[in-house]
Amino acid sequence: MNTVNTLIEKINSAKSLDFGNIFSDSIELFKKTWLQGFLLQLFTLIVMLPLIIVLYVPLIAAVIAQQESGYANESFESFIAGISVLYIVFILAGVLVLGAISVGLNAGFYRIMRKLDNNEVTTASDFFYFIKGKYLSKIFVLMLASFGVAILAALLCYLPIFYVMVPLSLFAIVFAFNPELSVGEIVKVSFKLGNKKWLLIFGLLLLSGLLAEIVGLMLCGIGLLFTAAFPYHPIYLIYKEVIGFDEVASIEEIGTHTE
């Protein structure tokens, strides 16, 4: 079991990584994981669907009322006036809860990625490994921490967002392979790794994101469901090269599942 000091020591002593090698290895790994990446997008859409309905159904109703009455201002004024504080609180709570479930799915995808990287068998249930009471409370607090960091960065004239977006992108993978750490320790390790490899991670996220979007759009837009998970791959490979995995814990986990 890794401790926060062990992880930080590994980060401090990490070797230099080659941008081109990480990117090419990401493409090779993506060839193994593209189907699971597609399932990740589907599961995420299904999770977010209730929130989308709650958000847009009242707006659609206001648009229909506008078309029927012909008075745009009155319709939208009524719509805005009907939005209560309780409704806004409900939406914010929904964003946090469903966002936490989404982070849990992402963490599950990293575990799946590791299995496929080792040519192991995976199942759809692996996506939901962290969607349980044991982990959901910690993921929820982690979501609150990420929102807090993002809001603080936005308040500082937005420029710090370019810095914090890198460690924020590491929260899920650090949690996925170190779920025993506290939220504060996960944040600490994520910022330590993000600071150590900031330029490399930022460049890979930018390039992989652009490539995923371009290829997805070339495939008539629907291809985005298959390519959107590509940016997770360089994150996984950087974590693998810098920190690595606790093989002892993995063996114990396999033994637990087979009992």
Answer for the pair 102, 48: CB distance below 8 angstroms, yes or no: yes
Give per-residue pLDDT as tens, 155-198. Answer: 887 788 889 999 999 999 999 999 999 999 999 999 999 999 99
Q: What pLDDT, on the 0 to 100 scale, is given for residue 90?
A: 77
Q: HSE of 212 in the Cβ direction (CA atoms, 13 Å)?
A: 24
Distance of CA 42 to the CA centre of its chain: 14
- Comparison of pLDDT for 95 and 241, the residue scoring more: 241
| pLDDT tops 90 at residue 132 | no
Question: What is the domain count for the chain?
Answer: 1
> What is d(CA 215, CA 228) in angstroms, rounded to the nearest whole number?
10
Place of tokens 């940016």: 231
Q: What pLDDT, on the 0 to 100 scale, is given for residue 252?
A: 45
* Cα pseudo-dihedral 62, 65, 71, 74, rounded to 10: -50
Phi then psi for 116, rounded to 5 degrees?
-65, -35
Query: Could you list the residue range(s) of the whole structural domain that residue 224 is in?
Result: 4-258
Q: What pLDDT, on the 0 to 100 scale, is given for residue 243?
A: 95
> What is d(CA 129, CA 109) in angstroms, rounded to the nearest whole number?
9
Flag whether the pTM goes above 0.75.
yes
